[in-house]
Structure 1
């Protein structure tokens, strides 16, 4: 334990355990900014996340009033919760500072950005989500990304042969 009472890994950095990653998001969107947000969860949702039962493939965040909500994130049901279980795809409130919510909400409204969750993880025992301020890619952008990936792969192969 450190003097502030928070448990940290050796070397002072925070302990991070990745639960799930939205790999499709990096293919479909160009990520301009990233932000870490906390999640308001119920007990059965936290237990499900600890078991790794989550999916972010169709998830997105949307500003509603002065708050930001994570929608369509599928956190599977926890077997032992039985009667007190949660709805798998319910909207979950994201915990951010007011200035961050206002800044990102303005960009979503004015410039056509989308807020997409990229990674869901535990950081020092608390559930966090990494959000990306994203712009959708068109067909040409995707082809360009594939071409760059192929040339990088070929360069790596050539370096290994030498």
Structure 2
């Protein structure tokens, strides 16, 4: 099912979390909230929208990270229902697209729900204070995150991202 993300709720404070990647290494959001901001993107392996932007996402995030903007990706789908999104497949997917950012497992789906993530991909761009400044599309991502890094604020006009619905456990 194709969904659009909500309009950016400027200033919304990011809840802190600690999640593990597919290898079991823990990452804490607040430790990645750098002075130039943080991009959190909800993705999954099986989504055709994520697959379509996978290589570009890898390139864009490498560029942003080289400029001091941190990146975390989260997979919140119920991977017992959608086995293509399992942690083992996350490792393969990450390698296939050349992701250099941590790709984290939200097994309990709590973080996806706390953030109000609705689809994959779903982008959340935060300034250094952990305030939401971007909730848009991948083609505006680099511009928006650079603006946040420089001014602490995201662009006022943003186009909602669209993608597959997150597969919530029932």
The TM tier, using the shorter chain, reads: under 0.3
Which one has a larger percent strand, Structure 1 or Structure 2?
1
Q: Choose between structure 1 and 2 for higher RCO, CA contacts under 8 A separated by at least 6 residues.
A: 2
If you compute each CA radius of gyration, which structure gives the higher value, 1 or 2?
A: 1
Task: Compute the TM-score of the two structures, normalised by the length of structure 2.
Answer: 0.26
